[in-house]
A and B are shown apart, each in its own frame.
Chain A
Amino acid sequence: SAVISQKPSRDICQRGTSLTIQCQVDSQVTMMFWYRQQPGQSLTLIATANQGSEATYESGFVIDKFPISRPNLTFSTLTVSNMSPEDSSIYLCSARLRTIDSYNEQFFGPGTRLTVL
């Protein structure tokens, strides 16, 4: 596995503002992912962030709303822009790790709990 940290762990923000969430992995990884988990719901993939290329967004998510950076193999950021109360959610980053007997395991950071007033 890997140690994945996220900052901030939680935040309360005002409508119309933006928040940048940071994700740090303790080893170099090619692929990182950003998910959203709304209260009582499962995980929904926002985008895939590969180092050295533009993030790939899932249907329903756009770069203007959720810009992502991936400056190196251990770090990524997700910005939630022009926030509204509907953006209140837990945002999770994950990293794909390849090990000797597996090739597609994803491990998650602790999440960022966002509340928009």
Chain B
Amino acid sequence: QKEVEQNSGPLSVPEGAIASLNCTYSDRVSQSFFWYRQYSGKSPELIMSIYSNGDKEDGRFTAQLNKASQYVSLLIRDSQPSDSATYLCAVNSGGSNYKLTFGKGTLLTVNP
């Protein structure tokens, strides 16, 4: 059973701080890793994808991947109240099916 684990939170940070979201996965052969943001009542929105070890930066977002530790994280710099949402980690194990396994999500609250 492939598993993706996230702290459910809630994670509360003050405006302007760095929010750190973590995710671990059980399938060692996983190849693709994604972070989705989901506002209450809305569908998931892809914000970051990462495929190789190291860091990937996009604006205020940085995804970090460590395949040896089976760990992927998302850092949000200069957090804004509009970043308040549930962040879902998703993992694909490769092959031809392209299926995603989702974690349960971490609720982030950014306080003004």
Contact = CB atoms under 8 A, between A and B. Distances in A.
Interface residues of B, number: 23
Contacts of B99: 33, 45, 48
Interface stretch (A14-22, A69-77, A102-110): A102-110
Contacts of B32: 103-104
Chain A, interface residues (CB within 8 Å), range: 20 to 34
Contacts of A92: 43-44
Contacts, number: 52
A62 B102 CA distance: 21
A110 to B, nearest CB: 5
Return the 10 tightest CB-CB contacts between A and B, nearest first: A108-B43, A42-B104, A104-B32, A43-B102, A111-B43, A42-B102, A108-B44, A110-B43, A96-B98, A42-B105
Interface of B: 31-32, 34, 36, 42-46, 49, 51, 88, 90, 92, 97-105
18 contacts: A1-B46, A33-B100, A42-B102, A45-B99, A45-B101, A48-B98, A48-B99, A56-B97, A96-B98, A103-B32, A104-B32, A104-B98, A105-B49, A106-B34, A108-B36, A109-B43, A111-B42, A111-B43
